[in-house]
Amino acid sequence: MKPETKVGIFTLLGLVVLGFSLYILGGFSITRSYEVNVQFADVSGLPVKAAVKLSGVEVGKVKAIKIEGQKVVAVLAINEGVDLYKGAQFSVVMTGIIGTKYIKVVQGQEALGLIASGDYVMGTDEMPMDEQVAQTMKSVRELVDSINNQGQFGSELNDAMRDIRQLSANVNQLVMTMRPYVTQSMENLEQITEKLNAVMDAITNEEGVLGTLIKDEEVKDQVKQSVSELKTTMTEVKSFVGKMSRFRVYWDFDFFYAPKSQVASGDLALEIFPSSGYTYYRAGMANIGNEDDTLSEHDYLERNKLDLRFGLYNRWADLSAGMIRGAGGVALHVKPFYNHEFLQRFTAGVEFSDWGRDRTINGRLFDKPNLSYGVDYRVSQYFSVGAWMRDTLQTNYLNVKANISFNDQDISSFFGLATMAR
């Protein structure tokens, strides 16, 4: 056998042995660890080698998943040097709306002692994502049925919209009453200005009897000043009437429902877009509800919070700042595909507020800022739906969202009239 052939055979055998070793030792790690057995009822979608995170820091991996009796046991390999105390909470969570699953650990109490290697602990069973989606869709259908069939929510919504339309009708009547007087005043001003212009022409050309006034400089200056003031007044009135039609005012209603906590909430606001620039103002109430109602176990919403913002916008982004849900914050909504015929219907949003939060809500300490993010899809000019992860640093609840928004031309005219009082 030639030397070259021997070298080739040994090289091939070496590659085979190396590949087999990598396959067998693929899960090998030089990091020392100890095992903790966590019992769950369901770990759907949790892969072996998934991360184990404590306070957002990876402290181990899922070594194996096995069935023992009626329970599913996830064997966790926790890095040596990371102490877990008894009473710690283990749950299967996702990195986002659509993301990989991992084990989230909430540290226990030091006074209870350490979890030893090989110990069995009970995990917290979360509702699987497919069941959450199914329950969410069921809730959306019930909401739609309630509105269509005049259920309690639909009845309350219809009553509120009827009151809003009544207010708009009253404002519209006021506008219609005032508009003829403003229009007539403008016509009178134009007629007077034309006559004074004729008088000025006669004076300037020194024609007829009025020509003699040209010799009186004081009278000439007074007439010129009068004409100038009337022209200025007419211009201002035209500007005011123009503002009445250039204001844009929108009613904006957001409905949120969290399947996990089974808590629904609503936000109602008035958004005012002035005639000039790319600015707007938002004023309303968030988490509308009765503060005296008994809270359920997982209800951490603080009711009836002011929402007052100043915003800047263009075709692809909307940035606002102010009081968001009762606390200082900022909000950003982006249309990354604003020039695409279909994708422009999608809007990605994020809200970041209550940076110094440190209070107890319904028996639970909240000491992290309120960060929420999600995606909305504009179904029509007046209606959109979306999915949001709310208060992600604390509860991280998935919420389904529905939005109703429409332009109110009557109130737009009212704000136009308000500018005339300045």
Question: Do 332 and 391 lie in a common domain?
Answer: yes
Q: For position 158, what pLDDT does the model report?
A: 65
Structural domains of the chain, count: 4
**Rounded Cα gap, residues 84 and 348, in angstroms:** 38
Please tell me whether residues 338 and 194 are part of one structural domain.
no
pLDDT of residue 14: 76
Backbone angles phi, psi at 25, to 5 degrees: -100, 20
User: Which residue in 391, 417, 387, 411 sits closest to 164, CA to CA?
Assistant: 411
Do 35 and 13 share a structural domain? no
For residue 303, the enclosing domain spans 248-420
Would you call 247 exposed, middle or buried from its count of C-beta atoms within 10 A (0-12, 13-18, 19+)?
buried
| Cβ neighbours, 10 Å, residue 326 | 19
Q: Name the domain boundary from 65, 99, 126.
A: 126
Q: How far is CA 313 from CA 83, 273, 317, 319, in A?
A: 49, 10, 6, 6
Question: Mean pLDDT in each 10-residue stretch from start to end of the chain (422 residues)?
Answer: 67 72 53 89 86 90 90 92 91 72 90 91 76 70 62 61 66 60 58 61 55 55 60 60 66 92 90 81 90 83 92 91 93 90 90 92 91 93 93 92 85 60 52
- Are residues 259 and 211 part of one domain? no
Total length of the chain: 422
Residue 157 lies in a domain: no
Q: Is 331 in contact with 320 (CB distance < 8 Å)?
A: yes
Asked if residue 136 belongs to a domain, the reply is no
Q: Quick check: is 163 in a domain? A: no
> Do 331 and 297 fall into the same domain?
yes
pLDDT of residue 338: 82
Determine, yes or no, domain membership for 150: no
Contact 390, 372 (CB under 8 A): yes
Residues 403 and 283 in one domain: yes
Q: Which of 199, 228, 246 is the last residue of a domain?
A: 246
Same domain, 100 and 192: no
Question: Residue 390 falls within a domain, yes or no?
Answer: yes
328, 202: one domain: no
Is 355 a domain residue?
yes
Residue 134 lies in a domain: no
Q: Which residues contact 282 (CB under 8 A, 6 or more apart)?
A: 252, 269, 270, 271, 272, 307, 308, 309, 310, 311, 320, 322
Together in a domain, 387 and 254? yes
Residue 146 domain flag = no
- Regarding whether 269 and 409 lie in a shared domain, the answer is yes
> Where a domain ends, among 192, 222, 246?
246
- What does the pLDDT read at residue 415? 61
∠ CA 230-234-240, nearest 5°, is 145
Q: b/e per residue, 334-361, with b = 16+ CB within 10 A? A: ebeeeeeeeeeebbebebbbbeebeeee
Residue 44, pLDDT score = 78
Question: By the 8 A CB rule, do 34 and 80 touch?
Answer: yes
Task: Say yes or no: 408 and 296 in one domain.
Answer: yes
| 253 and 391 inside one domain | yes
